Chain A
Amino acid sequence: GAVVSQHPSRVICKSGTSVKIECRSLDFQATTMFWYRQFPKKSLMLMATSNEGSKATYEQGVEKDKFLINHASLTLSTLTVTSAHPEDSSFYICSARNLNTEAFFGQGTRLTVV
């Protein structure tokens, strides 16, 4: 199947700093990308949907100024967690697809804010 690469796989940052997570579709053009957050032993919670070249659509309760999403090209979307705090520590997962494919998921990024 298609490959979605997420980087980094793990990151530790200090409170108050910002961290960027990249999501790349390696062998197809992703017209739509999704970002999820997952707490331990819990389900994936959709944070936002982004379409290439347009602003992301955030789910209710997700702060768009806190979680900045950029989908500038058909193969790359980024999630920036701004002014991170310990409660932002979580597993972040991206997903990518186009009109002809199912959604493929990245391997996830484990964020720890200390």
Chain B
Amino acid sequence: QQQVKQSPQSLIVQKGGISIINCAYENTAFDYFPWYQQFPGKGPALLIAIRPDVSEKKEGRFTISFNKSAKQFSLHIMDSQPGDSATYFCAPMRGRDDKIIFGKGTRLHILP
């Protein structure tokens, strides 16, 4: 099922710092690039998503950067907060109605 490579596997960032998580994919048919956030013991929730017609999308402290030629997209969390500590998954899809196959996840820990 793994069609994506997510890195790093885990990340520790100081409060106020920038957290960066990367996702590389192979399938050029993907055209919807979301990031999901999951807290322990809970289901994941859509955090932010981008389509390939733009290179960047920002929502509050969260930004997606998309590099079509490199087949990569990344999540940037600005001014990281302890409440951002969670596991983040990328899940590129062929349209929003495709089945969701998750990357292996990145466990983010923000130090207070």
Contacts and interface: CB of A to CB of B under 8 A. Distances in A.
A44 to B, nearest CB: 5
Main SS of the interface on chain A?
strand
Interface in A54-99: 59, 91, 93-95, 97, 99
A13 interface: no
A59 B34 CA distance: 22
A45 B104 CA distance: 10
A43 B96 contact: no
A42 B107 CA distance: 10
A99 B97 contact: yes
Nearest to B2: A43
Contacts, number: 51
B1 interface: yes
Contacts of B104: 42-43
A43 B9 CA distance: 11
Interface string B79-112: 0000000000100000011011111110100000
Contact of A102 (B43, B96, B102, B107): B96
Contact of A34 (B34, B96, B100, B103): B100
Contacts of A6: 43
Contacts of B107: 41
B100 A108 contact: no
A1 to B, nearest CB: 8
Interface of B: 1, 34, 41-46, 49, 89, 96-97, 99-105, 107
Interface of A: 1, 4, 6, 32, 34, 41-46, 49, 59, 91, 93-95, 97, 99, 102-108, 110
**A-B CB proximity, top 7 nearest:** A105-B43, A43-B102, A44-B102, A93-B43, A108-B43, A43-B104, A43-B105
Given A1-B46, A6-B43, 14 more contacts: A1-B45, A4-B43, A34-B99, A34-B100, A43-B89, A45-B1, A46-B99, A46-B100, A49-B99, A93-B44, A102-B96, A105-B45, A106-B43, A108-B41
